[in-house]
C-alpha cells in the first residue's frame, strides 16, 4: 500500500481506479446515458459557481459536523447507493460501510449490491446503515426486503423513484456488462491486466447480487437472475406505492430522484423525512438539468409547501468545495457515488477513507476562507452573486 497522503484529490483516485478495475465495471460506474450530457453537466455546473473570499476572520474552532435526518454526521455527506459496488473491489460494500462507520458518516447499501444486507450488518457489528430500495413488480419480495433491512438494524430507507425503466447506457451494451464477467476473449484479455482485482475476486464468495439470489422467487443462480431483473423494475410505480412503503417500513424514509418542483411538493405531502435532488448521476434522462442547477428551485418549492422534509442532493460532487456550494444553495446534506467508488476501486477500504478525508479537508478549509467556522451557518452569502443558479419565480 503506497503512502496515500500523496493522493491529494478525487481525480487522483479516479485515475488509479481506471487502471485497476476491469473496463466493464469501471465504465458501468463512470458513464451516463445516451450523449452523457447530463452526466457531464453534473460536475461542470459546479465549476461556474464562484466563492466569496473573506479575510481577517477568526478561523479557529472549525466544525463540519451536522445532522442528516436527525443522525449526527462528521460532515454533510453520505455514501450514495451504487449498484455492483462489490465488482469495483472484492467485498466492496462491506469495505465502504466499514470506512463510513469509522469516519462518522452514513453508508447506503443498494438493492443491487453484491454483498447482501446481512453481510454488511455482520461485518460492521450491526452498526446502523441505510438501505436503498428499488420497487419491483414482485411485491412479496419487496416486503421481505424491507423486513430484512429492519432486521439488519438499518436506520433509514432510501426509496429510488427515478428507475421505473432503465436509461440506455451505451458503454454497458458495448462492454457486454454481466456479473461476473462473461469469459469472452476481450474480457479475458482485459482481466489479465487487472491482477489485483482478480486476486481479490478469487478470495471472496460474493460475486453476484446478494440481496436477490436465493431470496427472490425463481432466482437461485446467475442464469435466472438476468431475466428476473429485466422484468422486475416496476414502470407503474406511483405515489400510492410510496405511502404503502412508508407504512410498511415505519422508520425514516428518504425519496431519491426529485428533479421537479411539483414532485418536490408531492414529496413534502408524502410525509417522507428527506428528498434527494438527483438525476441518477446522469444515467437516466439525458438532457435533464444538473442536480446543482435544479437544487435552488427544489429547495424553494419545499419552503413554499411548508417544509417538513430535508432537502439533499447528489450528482457531480468531486470535492469539499462542491459540498459547500450545495450546502449554500439549500442542501442540508449531500451524497457521493463516484467519488466513493474511485477510492474503493483504487485502494479498497483505505481508498474510501482517503476520499472522505480529501472531501472533508477541502470542505473545512474552503469554509474558513469564506468566513465561516461552522457548517451550520453557511448560506448563499458565501457565493458570488450572478454565478449560481437561482429559484424560479413562484407559480
Catalytic residue positions, numbered = 280
Bridging pattern class, strands 66-68 and 252-258: unpaired
Residue 110 CA to residue 105 CA, distance in Å, equals 16
Question: What is the phi/psi pair of residue 314, to 5°?
Answer: -140, 170
Identify the burial level of 208 via C-beta atoms within 10 angstroms of its C-beta, where 0-12 means exposed, 13-18 middle and 19 or more buried. middle
| Neighbouring C-beta atoms of residue 392, cutoff 10 Å | 11
Residue 267 CA to residue 138 CA, distance in Å, equals 24
Cα-Cα-Cα-Cα dihedral sign, residues 61, 65, 66, 70: negative
Q: Across the chain, where does the E strand assignment appear? A: 66-68, 71-73, 77-79, 108-109, 130-133, 156-160, 252-258, 274-277, 310-314, 333-336
| Neighbouring C-beta atoms of residue 383, cutoff 10 Å | 19
Q: Which residues of 16-34 are buried (b: 16+ CB within 10 A; e: fewer)?
A: bbbebbbbbbbbbbbbbbb
Residue 98 CA to residue 102 CA, distance in Å, equals 6
Residue 195 CA to residue 49 CA, distance in Å, equals 41
Amino acid at each position: 500500500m503506497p503512502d496515500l497522503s500523496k493522493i491529494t484529490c478525487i481525480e487522483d483516485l479516479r485515475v488509479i481506479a481506471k487502471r485497476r478495475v476491469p473496463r466493464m465495471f469501471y465504465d458501468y460506474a463512470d458513464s451516463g446515458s445516451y450523449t452523457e450530457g447530463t452526466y457531464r453537466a453534473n460536475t461542470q455546473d459546479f465549476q461556474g459557481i464562484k466563492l466569496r473570499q473573506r479575510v481577517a476572520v477568526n478561523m479557529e474552532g472549525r466544525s463540519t459536523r451536522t445532522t442528516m435526518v436527525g443522525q449526527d454526521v462528521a460532515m454533510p455527506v453520505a455514501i450514495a447507493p451504487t449498484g455492483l459496488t462489490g465488482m469495483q473491489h472484492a467485498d466492496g460494500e462491506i469495505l465502504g460501510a466499514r470506512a463510513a462507520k469509522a469516519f462518522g458518516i452514513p453508508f447506503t447499501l443498494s438493492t443491487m449490491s453484491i454483498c447482501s444486507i446481512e453481510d454488511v450488518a455482520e461485518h460492521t457489528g450491526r452498526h446502523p446503515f441505510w438501505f436503498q430500495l428499488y420497487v419491483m413488480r414482485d411485491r412479496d419480495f419487496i416486503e421481505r426486503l424491507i423486513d430484512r433491512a429492519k432486521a439488519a438494524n438499518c436506520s433509514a430507507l432510501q426509496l429510488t423513484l427515478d428507475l421505473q425503466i432503465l436509461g440506455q447506457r451505451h458503454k454497458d451494451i458495448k462492454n457486454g456488462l454481466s456479473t461476473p464477467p462473461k469469459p469472452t476473449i476481450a474480457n479475458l484479455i482485459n482481466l489479465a491486466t487487472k491482477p489485483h482485482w482478480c486476486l481479490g475476486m478469487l478470495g471472496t464468495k460474493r460475486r453476484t447480487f446478494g440481496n436477490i439470489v436465493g431470496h427472490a422467487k425463481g432466482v437461485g443462480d446467475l442464469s435466472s437472475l438476468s431475466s428476473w431483473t429485466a422484468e422486475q423494475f416496476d414502470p407503474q410505480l406511483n405515489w400510492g406505492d410510496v405511502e404503502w412503503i412508508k407504512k410498511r417500513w415505519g422508520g425514516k424514509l428518504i425519496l431519491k430522484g426529485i428533479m421537479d418542483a411539483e414532485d418536490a411538493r408531492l414529496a413534502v405531502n408524502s410525509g417522507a423525512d428527506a428528498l434527494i435532488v438527483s438525476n441518477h448521476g446522469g444515467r437516466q434522462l439525458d438532457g435533464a438539468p444538473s442536480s446543482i442547477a435544479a437544487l435552488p428551485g427544489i429547495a424553494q418549492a419545499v419552503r413554499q409547501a411548508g417544509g417538513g422534509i430535508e432537502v439533499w442532493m447528489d450528482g457531480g460532487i468531486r470535492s469539499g468545495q462542491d459540498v459547500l456550494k450545495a450546502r449554500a444553495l439549500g442542501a442540508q446534506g449531500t451524497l457521493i457515488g463516484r467519488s466513493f467508488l474511485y477510492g474503493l476501486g483504487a485502494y479498497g477500504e483505505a481508498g474510501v477513507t482517503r476520499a472522505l478525508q480529501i472531501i472533508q479537508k477541502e470542505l473545512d478549509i474552503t469554509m474558513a476562507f469564506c468566513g465561516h467556522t461552522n457548517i451550520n451557518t453557511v448560506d448563499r452569502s458565501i457565493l458570488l452573486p450572478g454565478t449560481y443558479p437561482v429559484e424560479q419565480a413562484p407559480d
